[in-house]
Amino acid sequence: MREGVSDAGDVEIDGSRGEGGGQILRTSLALSMITGRPMRIRRIRAGRAKPGLRRQHLACVNAAARLSGATVRGAEVGSQALE
């Protein structure tokens, strides 16, 4: 996946980059909330023994969605993609 901004203006993030854990997810959520720009994140925790969202990551996603009034697709345990 190419990181950057899509034609629709959404920020696209490869969640397997860097340490490949939950930090890129949490940082992406915070930046999306601050800037008000939608984001898509793929390959969440792809390099981990149990890839995808775990319960603690899902709690962050749900809290961010409630605080910002966002609609989120893919918010479930084990999901490797969010929109």
What is the DSSP track for 38-60?
Answer: -EEEESTTTTSSS-S--HHHHHH
* H helices present in the chain, as ranges: 23-35, 55-68
pLDDT band at 9 (very low <50, low <70, confident <90, very high): confident
pLDDT of amino acid 54 = 96
Lowest mean pLDDT among 19-23, 24-28, 74-78: 19-23
Q: Which residue has the higher pLDDT, 59 or 1?
A: 59
List CB contacts of 27: < 8 A, sequence separation 6 or more. Answer: none
Tokens 């775990």 locate to 54
> Which position has the token pair 């959404």?
10
